[in-house]
Amino acid sequence: MQGEDYTPRLLPSGEQALTFQISEAVDEGANRRIIALAAALDRAIAAGEIAGVTERVPTYRSLLVRYDPERIRGAALGEALLALHAGLEARAETGRLWRVPVHYGGPAALDLESLAAEKGMTPDELVALHSGAEYRVYMIGFAPGFAYLGGLPGILHAPRLPQPRQLVPAGAIGIGGKQGNINSVAGPSGWRFLGATPVRLFDPRRADPFLLEAGDRVRFEPVDAAAFARLSAEAEAGSALIAPEEAA
C-alpha cells in the first residue's frame, strides 16, 4: 500500500481510546488502508503481540481503538499502531459481494418520485441508475449495523431533508449527499428514500447479528411488490435471505 500520502495522526479520544487518523478526506484508498490496519491489529492481538485492546472501530479515514489503561498505555498503543501501519503491504482487497433485493416502491419510497423530478428523469430511470452501481461499505455506524455506502452515481447526489422525518422503517434504502445507505433499524432520518429491502442488516437472533462489514460491496437488485412481501415474511421468520458471493 505504497504511493499514497497518508500521514498518520494519533488523537487521544478520552482516557481509554485512541484515534489513528490518516486523512482529512473521504476516499477509497484511505478507507482500504484503515480496514487493512484493523485487520493487522486483529492479527497482532491474536498473536499476543498487543494486549489490552477492548474494541476497534474502522471509519472512513480513521481507526478508533479502545483499550484498558491498566494493561496498555495510550503511548505504547500509539507506537504499536504506527508500526503496524508502516508495515502494511499492498494487496488486492475486494471485500465480500452482497446482492441485496430492493422494492423501489411501497411505503418506504418516500422520495422516489420527487427526487426523480428534481433530477429531470423518470422514477424508472432513477431506479436503473441506482441499482446499476456497485457500492462500497465504507463504515458501519450511527445505529447497529447501519451501512454507509460509497459509489453513488454523481447525478443522484442529493442533499438531506432540511427537517428529518421522525420514523423511517428498517430496510429503507436512502441517499444523503453523495452517500447511499441501508437503514438497519427503524428511526428518524433526514435521508432521501427510494424503497426498501427485506434484508435485515441487524438481527439479534442471528449468531452474528451484523450482516455487513466495512470493505464489503453491495449491488441492489430490483424486485416487485409480491417478491418483497414473500421475502419480508422469510426475514420475519429469521432467514438472512442472502449470503456473500465471495470474500477478499
Per-residue tens of pLDDT for the chain, all 248 residues: 444 678 899 999 998 999 999 988 778 888 989 999 999 999 999 999 999 999 999 988 999 999 999 999 999 999 999 999 998 875 656 689 999 999 999 999 999 999 999 999 999 999 999 999 999 999 998 889 999 999 999 999 999 999 999 999 999 999 999 999 999 999 999 999 999 999 999 998 888 899 999 999 999 999 999 999 999 999 888 887 888 886 54
Q: Give the Cα separation of 71 and 48 in Å (integer).
A: 13
Check residue 26 and give its pLDDT: 77
Check residue 2 and give its pLDDT: 44
Check residue 88 and give its pLDDT: 87
Check residue 1 and give its pLDDT: 44
Give CA angle at 241 (98, 96), nearest 5°. Answer: 20
* CATH class of domain segment(s) 97-236: mainly beta
Q: Give the Cα separation of 184 and 171 in Å (integer).
A: 6
Helix (H, G, I), strand (E, B) or coil at 196: strand
CB 214 within 8 A of CB 35: yes
Check residue 89 and give its pLDDT: 74
Helix (H, G, I), strand (E, B) or coil at 137: strand
Residue 63 burial (C-beta neighbours within 10 Å; 0-12, 13-18, 19+):
buried
Residue 142 burial (C-beta neighbours within 10 Å; 0-12, 13-18, 19+):
middle
- pTM beyond 0.75: the answer is yes
Q: Which CATH architecture best describes the domain 3-86? A: 2-Layer Sandwich (3.30)
Residue spans of the domains in the chain: they are 3-86, 97-236
